[in-house]
A and B are shown apart, each in its own frame.
Chain A
Amino acid sequence: MNHIDSIYAFISLFIIMLGTLATRVLPALIFSLFKIPNLLFWLSTRITPCIIGMLLVYCFKDIDLSIAPHGAYEILGVFSVVAVYFMFIKFKSNGLIAIFLGSTIYMMAIYFKIFN
């Protein structure tokens, strides 16, 4: 431990663990004790696909469209995933194939700097 005092680091990480448990496990405990309000239950049956859409945007949050290459690599990557997904639509594992082929295309594009 050269750079950061280890006792401080341990306490800090412990606090982060508590914060994590407070958001992940505490709500479940509370809902086990009290009945979930109807409106909240309704929300729970609708919100999942919305949150996944949000997480997709989260993946690309740090891309600056105003500077070159204007997110071209990510557009190519997402396009490749979608294209491969539909190309292999008859296969059961088309999703998996799309993830790996799409990512490979993205990484190759970055490696060969095709948009720079």
Chain B
Amino acid sequence: MSDLQNAFKLSLPLVAGYIMLGMAFGILFNQNGFNALWAAGAAVFIYGGTMQFIAVSLLSAHEGYFAIFVVSLVVGFRQIFYTIAYFKAFQSEFRFKKRMYMFFALADEVFALLSINKTLSPNAKFYFSLLSHSYWILGCGLGALIGGHVNFDFKGIEFVLSAVFVVIILEQVRQSKSALMSSIGILSAILALVIFGSSNFLLPAIFIIVFTLFVFKAMRIKGVA
């Protein structure tokens, strides 16, 4: 199979997920007075479901510029860890411009899907990122075009993206023959969710994960250290 075919196959779960979720954003954005060009622009340059949905509420609340900047940093904080995780690989696989795009385009699902497909060629990885980004842009633009005119009901379609993570965890556990690392992530996140509540638990969750990994390393626990 060619690089593009491989990339397309890997991106299949995101076709439905990104287009539908993007459309949900586009419709919401349109209801706040923005046309398809604005929605597609947000998708191109911000490219993040969480941030774009939050942006709609920030804008309609007429939030100040500094507060908006801080929110965007907090929401994007986890990306630093995505960069750390793929830095070595991308460094050897991509020239500067493509590499910077690869880091920019590391959305949650892209990050996760790349992690279980280590045999993919650099070119295929690049196509995969580009395709996923395109689905998102397409979804956001379409949603804003449709706006409130068409009443379509795809309730529950966002579950596709949850299913992606479930399958990736299963693959990861099978490949490494250990559920330890996935469990650390799941349990840390649940702990942070219980303590800090659903609107800002990602940051504490990451810190609990990092702390746990360091403790396990110090204790020389097999599979971590």
Of the A-B pairs whose beta carbons lie under 8 Å apart in the complex, a sample of 7, sorted by A's number, is: A13-B41, A24-B79, A44-B84, A48-B115, A49-B115, A98-B167, A100-B16
A16–B55 CB distance below 8 A: yes
Which of the 9-residue segments B120-128, B139-147, B155-163 touches chain A? B155-163
Minimum Cβ distance to chain B for residue A49 (Å): 4
A96–B159 CB distance below 8 A: no
A44–B85 CB distance below 8 A: yes
A51–B165 CB distance below 8 A: no
**B contacts, CB < 8 Å to A:** 12-13, 16, 32-34, 38, 41-42, 45-48, 51, 55, 58-60, 62-63, 65, 68-69, 71-73, 75-85, 87-88, 90-91, 99-100, 103-104, 106, 108, 111-112, 115, 154-157, 159-172, 176, 181-190, 193, 198, 201-202, 205-206, 209-210, 213, 217, 224
B60–A4 CB distance below 8 A: yes
Contacts of A4 in B (CB 8 A): 32-34, 59-60, 62
Q: A28-54 CB contact bits vs B (8 Å, 1 = yes)?
A: 110110001000111110111111111
Minimum Cβ distance to chain A for residue B97 (Å): 11
Contacts of A96 in B (CB 8 A): 12-13
Q: Chain A interface secondary structure, helix, strand, loop or mixed?
A: helix
A106–B84 CB distance below 8 A: no
Cα(A91)–Cα(B187), bound, Å: 31
Closest residue of chain A to B212 (Cβ to Cβ) is A50
Q: A96-111 CB contact bits vs B (8 Å, 1 = yes)?
A: 1011101100110011
B106–A51 CB distance below 8 A: no
A82 at the interface (CB under 8 A from B): yes
Minimum Cβ distance to chain B for residue A31 (Å): 5
